[in-house]
Structure 1
Amino acid sequence: MRTLALSDDILLNIEKPARYIGGEVNSVMKDKSEVDIRFAMCFPDVYEIGMSHLGIQILYDMFNRREDVWCERVYSPWTDLDKVMREQHIPLFALESQDPIKTFDFLGITIQYEMCYTNILQVLELSQIPMHAKERTEEDPIVIGGGPCAYNPEPLAEFFDLFYIGEGETVYDELLDLYKQCKKEKKSRLEFLEMAAGVEGIYVPQFYEASYEEDGTLRDFRAVNPHAPETVKKQVVMDVTDAVYPMSPVVPYIKATQDRVVLEIQRGCIRGCRFCQAGMLYRPTRERDVEELKRYAKTMLKNTGHEEISLSSLSSSDYSKLQELVTFLIEEYHGKGVNISLPSLRIDAFSLDVMSKVQDVKKSSLTFAPEAGSQRMRNVINKGLTEEDILTGAGEAFEGGWSKVKLYFMLGLPWEEEEDMKEIARLSDRVARRYYEIPKEQRHGKCQITASSSFFVPKPFTPFQWAPMCTAEEYVRRAAIVKHEFQEQLNRKSLKYNWHDAEVTVLEGVFARGDRRIGQVIEEAYRLGCLYDSWTETFDNEKWMQAFENTGIDPEFYTLRERETSELLPWDFIEIGVTKKFLEREWQRAKDGVVTPNCREGCSGCGAATFGGGVCYESKN
């Protein structure tokens, strides 16, 4: 019989107590006395967001298929429970068993975005695990990080024992077997970490040392333990069809952000947008077999009771069997109350035809992501989209019955000029004009064009990793130029414009390209009370600025300067397949405004072919 970690009195006085009680459909229960390894899988954000993350569902399923492992889940407590747990000294606990995290063998934390870094410290502190890896004893869990932000692990280096670089399906079994062996042979924590460092894709930060030049740039980064390799190679699942996939994902009691069956149709992207980290990290593009996907869809809908299925990938339109898969889903579930969600589609005739069959056209809006207003800037970022493509797609959508369109742009891109900014408003207006070219009797009232701009953040392992950012004030100034231009447009009553928080963007930029010195800023900000920094209602920029001041670290060193391509970068010790030489070449092509064709049109020699599969090999077979 399970005893809840929180009393009824606490549960009745906090928001959404179902976040903390576990027991959901398809959650895995085991006898803890019959397993060798207990693994707590953490998403360092609130339950509803963490439960929407496919990666955790995959690893949860994969680990729990092993009889010797029990994988459980833990999320960041919301601020109300956080306060109670501190006051009453209640240790953070796992949902399934309700046992304290500090009693587990592993705490695995997925690091999906930079603004969750203070939540990682919250999880460690509430778990009563020493915050710094070097202070942990034989009694503490091994703290391991993974996910996209682990590709620059340095800002978090002192808080983690290990980082797993790459896709989790490859060497986790090897790592867990190694731990089991060490446990049996009564080896020390240090001995396990030294053996783990020999597993490809595993990075042990305490075995490396950084030194700096007088100007603050990185002078040297080297291994200081003989067991640690000089470079760490990312892990890639080449056969995604046969990889583990959760047929019975956990179904939350309360509405999650993505409350649906998620069908991952492929990994990677052929497009090569120069600002996009995912497009570089997840190369090469690998497709799942369409027959297996049909089977997955039927099984997962049956096992969850969900009423929506979403096709997940970075660019769904590029999946070669999309038409066959979508036709199957429409025919199979027509009239059965199952919605089909198709994110990441390019707006073309096929996509619109599909969406008209699966959406209520009158209620829904379509999303385009031109990313830049002018063709010049779209060439700089290698978007591979012309204004004709955008207007043709919008025209077909309007003629198909849609009247709401969302347009996503980015401000602050390298070499952006005022004319490029104004083109965001002008392009939005031209989209609206295209609507009003339709005869009045065929329109559905007024059109609504909502344009949103985020601010550019240069990310590691992209051609723009050397680019400077703007100050928060400059980002806001650029947004004001765009907003003013919107007010000058003919169809301004049909146009709406909003933009992202500039202060959050600047911080994200510091963390994205930060080195080990940033760890002390994150810790100081956390001590000052920063938490849930990706949430508007809890973000406090003043405290962050105080943290930089208190630690004597200048954020502008990380944001405003353009790096030389010869500079040693904090993440250069990681090999992702895509070479630095290729990224330099793309950086130069961006400066020249030259477009690089996508991977199916022609190989650009990025280096990902070294993995021996995927789109790089399709044309040869």
Structure 2
Amino acid sequence: MKKNHKLYSKLNGDVLPFVQKPVRYLGLETGTTIKDIKNIPLKFALAFPDFYELGMSHIGMGIIYDILNSVDYIACERVYLPYPDMNAKLKEHNIPLFSLESFEEIKNFDIAGFSLQYELSYTNILLMLELSGIPLFSKDRTGTDSPFVGAGGPCAFNPLPLNDFMDFFIIGDGEIATALVCDAVLEAKNDLKSGVVDISDYRNYVKRKLAEIRGVYVPGISKSVKKSLLNDIDLNYNFDFKTNKYVYINKHIVPLIETVHNRLAVEIARGCSSGCRFCQAGYIYRPVRERKKDTVVNAVKHGLHTTGLEEISLSSLSTGDYSEIEPLLSELAELTTEERISMSFPSMRIGSLSENILKKTAAVKKTNFTLAPEAGTQRLRNIINKNISETDLLNEAAGLSQKGYKSLKLYFMIGLPFERIADLDGIASLIVKIKKAAKGLNVTVNVNNFVPKPHTPFQWFPMEKEEALSFKINYLKKILKPLNVNFKYQDPRVSFVEALISRGDEFTSKIIYKAYKSGAVYDSESRLFNFDAWIKAIETENRNQNENKFSHGNDYQSYQGYFKYLYEEKNINDSLPWDFIDILVDKKFLKEEYKKSYMQNAKSIYYFNSEIDGEYLSTQNCRKICCLCGVCDFKTVSPVYSSKAANVKMHKNNIKNNENEKDKNSGVNDNYDSSINKDVFFNKTGINSVELYNFNGNNDIKVKTVPFSEITFTYSKRGIAKYLGHLETVKILLKAFRIIKIPLLYKESEYTLRPKLSFSNPIPFMSESDELYIKGRIPKIHAASMNLTDLKDKINGLLPEGLKIININL
């Protein structure tokens, strides 16, 4: 264990025994990269400003972690937001925030990079900086006493609200830009040592270097920034600095506790071609870039063979639009059936959920499906350019029911431009039709409040006020109550803070700071959301600005007028705070989309026929025809599809209009090795496949009796592993068994398959023992060929420190 033993000893005695799930803070996971950090030239703290369970589910963190750790002169280590109990203990014992891999203090790193996924996590960043002993404000950091603090992610496309706290931002795809930032800081460190730069100018010297990198915004230096774009993602993200090419990677960190998304996430595409006018991700991640089918299949196989996870998630903004989705699922179906793996899709566009997709995903485990109609009527869906039909939705709901699925989650948005009460009634009407078409399907309705996000056609529209949103939520509660659905909604106060930050400018930094000092922390956790702290911060800053506009105390209505920029529609010719960020989408295109929504609304009112009638008002999916958004020049930047047949057919004039319009980076060569050594774990044991044995609901063998042998794994739990709970320990062992492909017999339930196992009784938390066991059954045909000593060694090679197989008996 290459950890700071002094810090661990203090944690072990004073902290870890007194907090929930202490393994969150121990870094015991398999798949981590642990280097001798004291002898590494460049140290990067990869920070996620939310809890471990959420951060470990984020695919982007894993990508950056692997890229940086592939370089021998960079050590990248993780740090997550501590839970309130851990936060209190760290403060009580004056222990600074530390990294998981080596227990190194965060303030000793060269760079601390935060992932910006949600605006309400911003005060968490301030907490993490404070716990680390790093000055909150960039202006207060001097010399080499503090790391350079940066941030990236979707929220960074409006960096201004965090300007006061950050030294730099990465705008756009982070793979290359993050690596270049590390190189620039390392070069500056060497210049400092050699006397090229004086310590008094060191931080500004580094910032000037960072400002020269495409996609990097440095407050106070950068005037405008063009987003970083990785034009070809048909690779596994690992950058080889010696060849300047990407190569195949083999790393997956396997969490020791249940995470929010406890599955293997494999990115199959980046970007979305649908063009929904409210969706920020659909614009900032353009163009669509798909990975080749074979690359995805290899990534899935490799991930399953190194993690032992039982579910895969094909990650994309619109998974069903992937060009080769059905051939991909056909290949994966054999794998998932053989190894009892379930598949899930985080985002399926209505109209893309075919019968074949349902059939493939239902083979092992019937995962819940999520669909997003967004609006209750076709009129409003047309206005927001949600190009789906009610017929498609009803057909897909019926298909889910027919394939045995039990649950469907539907996402809607309220407060959209031009919304009417009839659109809310349309939600209830839609639910009635779904329940009729898909009998027995449990429906959950999730309602979010529209926030006009930067860089979208709807950025000029106002946000609806809290009282109107609250009225609509209560109205929906009333009309949905008789329909027997689960109804969930977002607190309008949360949406207000989200809008306040996402649409803010430099002044917003002051409000964020005051809110933090007033107790706003952990706000991304709804039960801990502290709205009063935001009210206090707003009123304090209002008094500081000598604009006494609050006359009714601390109620929500009293300060709405102060932020009228949230509630008043903008002139499309006025400048917006975030205009200096170039997302490559032409602003003229965004304006046209904005105008089309107006014309679509007028059309729905007056039913006129004119030159603006028909398909003109609906912007087509750019998989069919280029929509002239300005991102692609079809030379250096263009959509990338997994098959040639799926490439967009462009009219010559479309291409001509895009020529030389923007200066873009060329793509990166996809030189990687996709081969996988399938026998790496089990080529000596004779366990070369996993056979399916079917059981009925009573756990009896459904087909002819299979001769089996009982196998007992005796294990010990000592030292640092004492912080693992019983269920956590069992799941870690089962993942190791799956990786090595021990052919355990399975029992079948209505929804899934589980190994037929028995366990020793749980021991008290923090106790140690050498007499724990797991018992299972394996077919005798496999038992005869098993080398138990070799098998024990292979399992132990996959277990965290302190957890060890002592003996295996047949």
Asked whether the two chains share a fold, i.e. TM above 0.5, the reply is yes
Q: TM-score, normalised by structure 2?
A: 0.70
Partner residue of 1:454?
A: 448
State the distance in 1 between where 2:510 and 2:522 align.
18
C-alpha deviation, 1:33, in angstroms? 3.5
Distance 1:137 1:349, change over 3 A: closer
Match of 1:40 in 2: 45
In structure 2, the CA distance between the partners of 1:295 and 1:615, relative to structure 1 (3 Å rule), is: closer
Name the counterpart of 1:523: 513
Kindly report which structure 2 residues correspond to 1:353-364, keeping only aligned pairs within 5 A, or say none: 353-359=356-362, 364=367
- The answer on whether the counterparts of 2:375 and 2:381 sit within 8 Å (CA) in structure 1 is yes
The match for 1:211 is: none
Distance 1:77 1:558 in 2: 35
Distance in structure 2 (CA, Å) of the matches to 1:16 and 1:117: 24
Per-residue deviation at 1:314? 0.3
- 1:193 is matched with 207
Q: 2:503 aligns to what?
A: 513
The structure-2 alpha-carbon separation of the partners of 1:307 and 1:397, relative to structure 1 and needing over 3 Å to count, comes to closer
CA shift, 1:360, in A, is 7.2
Partner SS for 2:623: coil
Q: Which residue of 1 aligns with 2:338?
A: 335
Question: Is 1:143 paired with 2:149?
Answer: yes
Structure 1 residues 591 and 348, CA gap change in structure 2 (3 angstroms): closer
Residue from 458, 461, 468 that aligns with 1:467: 461
Cα displacement string for residues 42-69 of structure 1 (whole angstroms, at most 9, x for unaligned residues): 0000111111111110010000000000
Indicate how the Cα distance of structure 1 residues 505 and 528 shifts in structure 2: closer, same or farther if over 3 A, else same. same
Give the CA deviation at 1:559: 1.8
Counterpart residue identity of residue 116, structure 1? S
Q: Which residue of 1 aligns with 2:185?
A: 179
Tell me what 2:581 maps to. Answer: 574
Structure 2: distance between partners of 1:344 and 1:35 = 40
1:111-260 equivalent positions in 2, closer than 5 A: 111-138=116-143, 139-186=145-192, 187=197, 188-207=202-221, 228=222, 230-242=223-235, 244=237, 247-260=250-263
Report Cα offsets for 1:78-100 as digits up to 9, x if no partner.
11111122222211111111011
What is the RMSD computed on CA atoms of the aligned residues?
2.0
Gaps of 5+ in 2: 239-248, 546-558, 601-616, 651-810
Q: Look up the match of 1:299.
A: 302
CA contact (8 A) 2:585 2:631 kept: yes
Compared CA separation, residues 496 and 38, structure 1 to 2 (3 A): closer
Q: Distance in 2 between matches of 1:175 and 1:232?
A: 15
Aligned positions of 1:103-118 closer than 5 A:
103-118=108-123
Structure 1 partner of 2:671: none
- Tell me which residue corresponds to 1:82: 87
Rounded to whole Å, the distance in 2 between the matches of 1:305 and 1:392 is 35
Q: Is the 8 A contact 1:466 1:563 kept in 2?
A: yes
The code of the aligned residue for 2:580 comes to F
Distance in 2 (alpha carbons) for counterparts of 1:401 and 1:171: 46
- TM-score (structure 1 length as normaliser): 0.91
2:54 aligned residue: 49
Inter-partner Cα distance in structure 1 for 2:44 and 2:30? 20
1:476 aligns with 2:505: no
Whole-Å separation in 1 of the counterparts to 2:338 and 2:235: 32
Deviation per residue, 1:515-534 (Å, 9 max, x gap) = 11111111111111111111
Deviation at 1:258, TM superposition (A): 1.5
The answer to whether the 8 Å contact 1:40/1:108 transfers is: yes
Deviations 1:345-368 (A, max 9, x none): 235586343334433799654322
Partner of 2:782: none
Match of 2:647 in 1: 618
Aligned partners of 1:50 and 1:75 also within 8 Å: yes
Contact 2:119 2:498 in 1 (8 A): yes
Q: Which moved more, 1:530-539 or 1:395-404?
A: 395-404
Matched residue SS, 1:6: helix
* Letter in structure 1 aligned against 2:306: N
Contact 1:101 1:127 in 2 (8 A): yes
Distance 1:332 1:408, change over 3 A: same
**C-alpha distance 421-557 of structure 1, shift in aligned 2 (>3 A):** same
Q: Distance in 2 between matches of 1:500 and 1:33?
A: 46
Q: Matched residues in 1 for 2:36 and 2:147: separation? A: 19
**Structure 2 letter corresponding to 1:199:** I
Instruction: Work out whether residues 44 and 112 of structure 2, in 8 Å CA contact, stay in contact via their aligned partners in 1.
Output: yes
**Structure 2 Cα separation of the partners of residues 59 and 359 of structure 1:** 33
- Equivalent position of 1:373 in the other structure: 376
Q: Distance in 2 between matches of 1:586 and 1:349?
A: 24
Give secondary structure in 2 for the equivalent of 1:205. coil
- For structure 1, the residue ranges without an aligned partner over 5 or more in a row are 208-227, 437-445
Shift in CA distance, 56/557, structure 1 to aligned 2, threshold 3 Å: same
2:97 corresponds to which of 81, 84, 92: 92
Aligned partner of residue 24 in structure 1, secondary structure = coil
Residue pair 2:156, 2:170 contacting (<8 A) in 1 also: yes
How many residue pairs end up in the alignment?
587
Cα distance in 2 for partners of 1:19, 1:612 equals 41
Name the structure 2 match of 1:213: none
Q: Aligned pair in 2 of structure 1 residues 576, 406: CA closer, same or farther (>3 Å)?
A: same
Aligned counterparts of 2:364 and 2:310: Cα–Cα separation in 1: 19
Taking the aligned partners of 1:514 and 1:355, their CA distance within structure 2 comes to 43
CA distance in structure 1 between the aligned counterparts of 2:497 and 2:415, rounded to whole angstroms? 15
Output one character per residue of 1:229-255: Cα deviation in whole Å (capped at 9) or x when no partner.
x32010111111135155322111111
SS in structure 2 opposite 1:158? coil
Contact 2:622 2:648 survives alignment (8 Å): no
- Alignment partner of 1:7: what SS? helix
State the shift of 1:430 in Å: 1.5
